[in-house]
């Protein structure tokens, strides 16, 4: 999920950039202390999410939201709670009060990820309408159908990825980033640099080890991916 940070205070930008680097599904496209420059960034490239300060010179965060006219999701960041009501009237996803604690930040970005999931899925009709995808295999000119519901996990192997499903392994000419961007986030999640797992296959989590159904060897939960994974698991946690 691509994002930018807009704030007239560099220190505030630095804090959010530090947080963004800890969330695997966030991709920082840029930062700016100028809202006018940030408007150009939004118009020039694909941006899914803007972290936006409210009180800035030239134009306010509220006017910025009106100017982008729904092109991307917005999380407001400010030291003043009185702007919350107006922000929500403009359909911002969340409102973060400075200083922003990381758990609260993570909750807000997960909310954004959930809110754009349906939009992302609608752009993947070839994958999701019938719950399958076609991949180019290592054999030249060969394409293979893989049902999403059959996938146990996907493993990175240098220039290839390996789909593990139904007790078999298929190599495909894809990158992990391509899969991370396209697979439905409701059902799949990257848990370290080399593995994407099917969430429905999880049978347990022990420390930093994730156990999957019918898979003998547990998969390591990477430190960089832990916070996002645990936030995802909270929705299923009882007691």
Q: Are residues 101 and 147 in the same domain?
A: no
Contact present, 137 and 143 (Cβ < 8 Å): yes
Residue 44 has pLDDT above 90, yes or no: no
List the domain range (segments joined by +) for residue 215: 125-234
CA 204 from chain centre, in angstroms, equals 23
Residue 19 has pLDDT above 90, yes or no: yes
Domain ends where: 88, 104, 122? 122
Q: Are residues 46 and 116 in the same domain?
A: yes
Q: Are residues 107 and 135 in the same domain?
A: no
Give a yes or no: residue 239 inside a domain. no
Give a yes or no: residue 111 inside a domain. yes
- β-pairing, 27-32 vs 2-6, is parallel
Q: Are residues 108 and 133 in the same domain?
A: no
User: How many Å apart are CA 44 and CA 70, to the nearest integer?
Assistant: 15
Of the given ranges (38-52, 172-186, 201-215), which has the lowest mean pLDDT? 172-186
CATH of the domain at 104: 3.40.50.2300
Domain ends where: 75, 93, 122? 122
Q: What integer best gives the mean pLDDT of the chain?
A: 85
Domain ends where: 98, 122, 146? 122
pLDDT band at 52 (very low <50, low <70, confident <90, very high): very high
> Structure pTM?
0.56
Over range 141-169, report the average pLDDT: 90
Q: pLDDT per residue over 67-90, tens digit each?
A: 998 889 999 998 876 655 555 566
Q: Are residues 155 and 225 in the same domain?
A: yes
Contact present, 170 and 163 (Cβ < 8 Å): yes
Contact present, 177 and 186 (Cβ < 8 Å): no
Give a yes or no: residue 23 inside a domain. yes
Give a yes or no: residue 220 inside a domain. yes
User: How many Å apart are CA 32 and CA 41, to the nearest integer?
Assistant: 9
Output the six-digit token pair for 237: 């946690």
Residues 157/163/169/170 CA torsion (nearest 10 deg): -80
Contact present, 31 and 14 (Cβ < 8 Å): no
Q: pLDDT per residue over 167-186, tens digit each?
A: 899 999 888 888 888 888 88
CA 223 from chain centre, in angstroms, equals 16
Q: Are residues 147 and 230 in the same domain?
A: yes
Contact present, 194 and 154 (Cβ < 8 Å): no
Question: 163: phi > 0 → left, psi -120 to 50 → alpha, else beta; which?
Answer: beta
From residue 14, alpha-carbon distances to 57, 130, 187, 195, 213 in Å are 19, 43, 32, 29, 41
Q: How many domains does the chain have?
A: 2
């Amino acid at each position: 999920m691509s994002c930018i940070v807009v704030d007239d205070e560099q220190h505030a930008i630095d804090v959010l950039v530090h947080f963004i680097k800890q969330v695997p599904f966030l991709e920082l496209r840029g930062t700016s202390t100028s809202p006018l420059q940030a408007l150009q960034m939004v118009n020039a490239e694909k941006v899914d999410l803007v972290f936006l300060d409210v009180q800035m010179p030239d134009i306010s965060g509220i006017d910025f939201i009106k100017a982008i006219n729904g092109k991307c999701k917005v999380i407001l960041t400010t030291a003043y709670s009185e702007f919350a009501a107006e922000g929500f009237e403009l359909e911002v996803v969340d409102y973060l009060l400075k200083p922003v604690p990381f758990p609260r930040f993570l909750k807000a970005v997960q909310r954004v990820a959930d809110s754009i999931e349906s939009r992302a899925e609608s752009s993947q009709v070839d994958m999701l309408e019938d719950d399958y995808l076609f991949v180019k295999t290592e054999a030249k000119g060969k394409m293979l159908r893989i049902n999403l519901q059959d996938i146990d996990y996907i493993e990175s192997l240098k220039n290839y990825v390996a789909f593990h499903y139904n007790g078999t392994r298929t190599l495909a000419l894809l990158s992990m980033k391509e899969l991370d961007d396209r697979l439905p986030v409701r059902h799949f999640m990257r848990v370290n640099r080399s593995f994407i797992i099917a969430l429905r296959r999880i049978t347990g989590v022990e420390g930093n080890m994730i156990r999957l159904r019918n898979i003998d060897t547990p998969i390591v939960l990477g430190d960089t991916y832990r916070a996002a994974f645990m936030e995802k698991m909270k929705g299923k946690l009882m007691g």
